[in-house]
Amino acid sequence: MTKILDCTIRDGGHVNNWEFSDECILASLDAAEKSSIDYFEVGYTMPDCVKKSSVKLVLMINASALRSVDEKVDCIRVACYPDEIEIGMKACEDYHKIGYEVFLHLMTADKLSDEHYVLLKNWQKKDILTSIYYADSFGSFLPSDVEKIYNKLKNCGYKNISFHGHNNLQLAFANSIKAIELGAYSIDATTFGIGRGAGNLPIELLMHYFKFDSSAYLKIVEKYFEPLQLKYRWGYSYKNLIGGINNIHPREIDKFLSHVNV
């Protein structure tokens, strides 16, 4: 059964500069604990209000900004761009040595070259990973892209493969279902789809797909995340559509539009 990783606080923090109230963070964690959620990503640092949980707590660390970790989390997700893969692999080894579960998270996975796949295939310690993630960072994937990259990673010897989608083309749900059908270890999702740019896969939709009870999430959507959406307006928009079609980072969209007649 595919697992669910709730990355609301981490990825959603790109929307509001991680200025979630303690009440919202704890309510979100409580919703995860009451639901069929396996992992809860607390952010890039551990919020002071979070002490422990029955759900596995995850911290993301970028390969470009590695640091020592003393937070009481269960898992470390090391995020790397293609040119940082070797740094990411070594970081996973180091964090695993001191007792953390580890995910290697491949950003802009469509930009992996044959040489990058060779590195991934030849990594002798790949079995330390709980799973290897690949991300549709700019929301440009079609289901066929999800399948192509999944199979390439499988052919590199990775047993557990996970997917992180963005919703610029309104395909985060369809792409995630494709990954699930392929046998994904886990899928990322956020409450009400909160996330940078067009946002992420809404976790309440994923739970409905799995026929899980989503009532705890629906409560926090109404109380916290619908008001946040009205304030910050993530989701489908002209700019985010252009970003998805052209596979460019959200912060580069305005520059792109200033030089190109769409």
Per residue in 104-143, pLDDT (tens digit) is 999 999 999 999 999 999 999 999 999 999 999 999 999 9
Q: Quick one: pLDDT at residue 261?
A: 59
Other CB atoms within 10 Å distance of the CB of residue 120: 21
Per residue in 10-39, pLDDT (tens digit) is 999 999 999 999 999 999 999 999 998 999
Strand partners, 162: 133
8-state DSSP, 167: -
Give the pTM.
Answer: 0.93
Q: Quick one: pLDDT at residue 179?
A: 98
Mean pLDDT of 180-186: 98
Print the domain residue range for 114.
Answer: 3-259
CA distance 180 to 210: 11
Residues 6 or more apart whose Cβ sits within 8 Å of residue 29: 40, 50, 53, 55
Residue 13 CA: distances (Å) to CA of 4, 45, 234: 19, 11, 11
Rounded mean pLDDT of the chain? 95
Q: Which residues of 150-178 are buried (b: 16+ CB within 10 A; e: fewer)?
A: bebbeebebebbbbbbbbbbebbbebbbb
Sequential DSSP letters for 16-46:
HTT---HHHHHHHHHHHHHTT--EEEEESS-
Residue 7 CA: distances (Å) to CA of 10, 59, 190, 249: 5, 10, 5, 19
Mean pLDDT of 54-76: 95
Structure-block tokens of residue 84: 């940082």
Q: Which residue has the tokens 């989701």?
A: 235
Domain CATH for 249 = 3.20.20.70
CA distance 166 to 172: 5
Angle at Cα 118 formed by Cα 183 and Cα 144, nearest 5°?
A: 40
Query: Is the pLDDT at 181 greater than 90, yes or no?
Result: yes
CA distance 205 to 202: 6
Other CB atoms within 10 Å distance of the CB of residue 59: 22
Structure-block tokens of residue 222: 């109404």
Q: How many domains does the chain have?
A: 1
User: Of 237, 233, 176, 223, nearest to 28 (Cα)?
Assistant: 223
